A and B are shown apart, each in its own frame.
Chain A
Amino acid sequence: MIEAVGLSKRFGTTLAVDDLTFTVRPGVVTGFLGPNGSGKSTTMRMLLGLDAPTAGRATVNGRPYVEHSAPMCEVGALLEARAIHTGRSARNHLLALAATNGVGRRRVNEVIGMVGLDTVASKRAGGFSLGMGQRLGIATALLGDPATLILDEPVNGLDPEGILWIRNLLKSLAAEGRTVFVSSHLMSEMAVTASHLVVIGQGRLIADSSVADLTAQASRDVVLVRTERAAELRGLLSQDGVGITASDVDRLIITGLSSTAVGQVAADAGIALIELTPQQASLEEAFMEITKDAVEFNAVVGSDR
């Protein structure tokens, strides 16, 4: 369980995180989404006591992170930038960190096996690929067998096999009743991993809801209709607030009316429909839709200078 209340962080004149309030519950994977530079990492660092909030407070498993006597056994953390000394072997890195909280050597070997680094555990971490570094970071997070996991961009730099591995790992950790809070700037990734989402943009909370609700909320009423009497139906549906475009002779795309309403009008007029499909916005579109005002760096594609 993670709770943030009125969390804010100011760097000079920039308000990186602005009055964030949210709760992350155990048992499901919660995605933490936002465009680059929206304050995700800063928020996670505040949850872990690395950055002091300018205002507000954050608790993990009921207490501020700093107040846990065995923090690694309460919360496992993976931070975006690599947090590994390049000159040390993976095993010694884990042994040193495990020692601080009294976690034993057996658990160190266990997590090395869990992330599949057995063969390179004695090699210097400086020679690791990005993917191996991420695996070592995840091993670090799992050391204390924590009830809560805070992972910043865990799929970064992983190959497809690694991404699949992370997805399954996160889901199984959540299924065990743990709190799993995962940040990403990739909606598509969260769509297949997370079931709840906290979305921020420019440091402010934009949405805190389930993936299903978010998709429904963001998808406007768009209905695709196919009928041989397209022109006739078009005439019947025309009214204020309804947009109709013909994409083909027998195809209409209708905005502003639900599929129920469109079907009713057609039935009343005795018009046979070949197809009637409500168009779901993809999660990606939903994300773009709700964050479009909050993107810090808007690129103009294909614009002339």
Chain B
Amino acid sequence: MTTMTVAAAGRHSGREGVSLPRVINSEWIKFRSLRSSWIAFAAALVAAIGLGILFSAVRAHNFGNIQHATGPNGQSIPASVIRQGFDPTLVSLRGLFLAQLAVGVLGVLMITGEYGTGMIRATLTSVPTRRPVLFAKCIVFGLFTFVISTAASLIAFLGGQAALHSDDLGVSLSSPGALRAVIGGGLFLMIVGLLGLGCGFAIRNTGGAIATLFGLILVLPLLAQAFPQSWQNHLDQYLPLSAGSQLITTYHESGDLHPLSGGLVFAAYAVVSLVIGAIVLARRDA
């Protein structure tokens, strides 16, 4: 090797180098430059807001009919009895349960799309320490999902309560638990998305990761029914959907976890999936 060759090797300014903020910037460019990101979020918004207002309007209509109903002996049923167990906040936020499909799938695709197309090799060649890629995806996707979902949750709540208000069933944002449930709606979708991201990192294959994600959320409660009733009562509250739902309800039954603990249990599923994903990312050949 001659000195000439050393001098010619690159003309770096010395300002280059991998750092977490730079990887976050990269992931943000990746996120917004794919059409699928915007399609998924448009679908999530339509589902959350559209269904929220629709369900509220239907409930308001039905409630209007029931209110004039009479019991079997012709006596009128007090409105307070009918209202028992009625959670107007949840009614207006129920669209989030459909929106979770779009957000969950997008969370999976954030990483399996890279494995599927081979992009992951370019990504990991530019960030060979690998882990910053996972952190950056969590931050970019988690924050974006939280902001958009909370906005969707708020619009669905306000629209839904307006529809319910015509029958005097609506509540306001200042009602007990309402604001918490609206923000909880944003957290719920964010955690679903991050759980999907974790499954994607751990499994790498789009189909397998989506099946795992919705197996955990939707199929697990059905499988739990195989256990004796006494076990179910204990078990069910810790399953992802039951635990996560506590974030967006204001009406709690005796067997439910409190909103905070429910949210933490739900978040724990996402954390575990991401930890497994991080281990797989670091250990397995790309």
Contact = CB atoms under 8 A, between A and B. Distances in A.
Interface of A: 1, 25-27, 45, 48-52, 61, 65-66, 68-74, 77, 79, 81-89, 92-93, 95-97, 99-103, 140, 144-148, 176-178
A77 B18 CA distance: 16
Task: Determine the interface band of chain B, counting residues with CB < 8 A from chain A.
Answer: 35 or more
Interface in B1-28: 1-2, 4-12, 15-19, 22-23, 25-27
A177 B8 CA distance: 6
Contacts of A140: 122
A51 to B, nearest CB: 4
6 A-B pairs closest in CB distance: A147-B9, A177-B8, A177-B5, A92-B33, A99-B26, A83-B122
Given A26-B9, A83-B121, A87-B36, A48 B18 contact: no
Interface of A is mostly: loop
Given A73-B12, A87-B34, A79 B121 contact: yes
Nearest to B119: A85
Given A52-B285, A71-B126, A95-B29, A100 B7 contact: no
Contacts of A45: 285
A70 B8 contact: no
Which has the most chain B C-beta neighbours within 10 Å: A26, A45, A89, A99?
Answer: A99
Nearest to B19: A102
Given A48-B125, A71-B125, A82 B18 contact: no
Interface string B88-115: 0000000000000000000000000110
A113 to B, nearest CB: 17
Contacts of A73: 10, 12, 16
B123 interface: yes
B1 A102 contact: no
A82 B117 CA distance: 8
18 contacts: A48-B125, A49-B128, A50-B124, A66-B128, A70-B16, A70-B18, A72-B125, A72-B126, A79-B118, A82-B117, A83-B121, A85-B119, A97-B26, A100-B123, A140-B122, A145-B10, A147-B9, A177-B4
Nearest to A144: B16
A178 B35 CA distance: 38
B272 interface: no
Nearest to A26: B5
Interface of B: 1-2, 4-12, 15-19, 22-23, 25-27, 29-30, 33-36, 113-114, 117-129, 285-286
B206 to A, nearest CB: 13
Given A52-B285, A85-B113, A88-B33, A101 B18 contact: yes
Given A72-B125, A93-B122, A96-B26, 6 more contacts: A61-B9, A86-B117, A88-B30, A92-B33, A102-B19, A178-B9
A235 B219 CA distance: 90
Contacts of B22: 99-102
A85 B11 contact: no
Interface of B is mostly: helix
Contacts of A100: 18, 22-23, 26, 123, 126-127
A81 B18 contact: no
A92 B18 contact: no
Contacts of B25: 99
Contact of A87 (B17, B19, B35, B121): B35
A70 B14 CA distance: 9
Which has the most chain A C-beta neighbours within 10 Å: B17, B121, B125, B127?
Answer: B125
A71 B128 contact: yes
B108 to A, nearest CB: 15
B261 to A, nearest CB: 38
A77 B118 CA distance: 14
Contact of B12 (A26, A70, A93, A177): A70
A26 B3 CA distance: 11
Contacts of B118: 79, 81-84
A84 B18 contact: no
Contacts of B36: 87
Which has the most chain B C-beta neighbours within 10 Å: A1, A61, A73, A144?
Answer: A73
A210 to B, nearest CB: 17
Contacts of A144: 10, 12, 16
A146 B128 CA distance: 16
Contacts of A177: 2, 4-9
